[in-house]
Amino acid sequence: MRGLSTARSSAWPWSSPSRRIPRRRARWSATLLGTGLAVGLAEVYSETLGAEVRTRRRLDRAHRRAIWTDTLAVAFGIGFPAVFFVLAVAGAVEVDTAFDLAKWSGLGLIALYGFLAARLSGAPLTAALVKSAAVASIGAFLIVLKALVH
């Protein structure tokens, strides 16, 4: 949802009457991808710093690798909506379609994260599906709320 929030809050380049729209849209898509990278790197830094402060020692290679692995999921979730806006820049989809795809695929991604987190924590299939549905319903509520407010 972070990526979609970034996308929605920066929608002005998509509706600009300028003749330089494709260039602006491409820059804007790159901004989404850059945001994913920046947030991912900030997460690595904060997780590493927090773990070193808690343990009062430098992290070993396995712990650093685990932090990077966890952070890749965060960066992927943030940068994921950019795929649809890159398609819009290329003319493969309309801008409104890109927003819709980003919104609803983001909801699916959140549901998938909830399901995988439950399964990885040892929950049985039915419990994982319930947790996934709960997380997805919160995401859907936020999408509907945002649609009503804007």
Per run of 10 residues, the mean pLDDT along the chain (length 150 residues) is 47 45 68 82 93 94 92 81 84 85 86 93 96 93 84
Nearest to 11 by CA among 33, 29, 23, 38: 29
Closest CA to 108 of 144, 73, 135, 74: 135
Q: Please report the pLDDT score of residue 139 as a whole number.
A: 87
According to the model, what pLDDT value does residue 23 have? 66
Q: How far apart are CA 55 and CA 31, in angstroms?
A: 36
Measured CA to CA, the distance from residue 112 to residue 117 in angstroms comes to 8
Q: What is the pLDDT of residue 1?
A: 47
Identify the burial level of 147 via C-beta atoms within 10 angstroms of its C-beta, where 0-12 means exposed, 13-18 middle and 19 or more buried. Answer: exposed
How far apart CA 43 and CA 143 sit, in angstroms, is 25
The pLDDT value recorded for residue 18 is 43
Give the pLDDT of residue 40: 86
pLDDT of residue 25: 66
Residues 6+ apart with CB under 8 A from 133: 111
Between CA 120 and CA 122 the distance in angstroms is 5
Structure tokens at 53: 């402060």
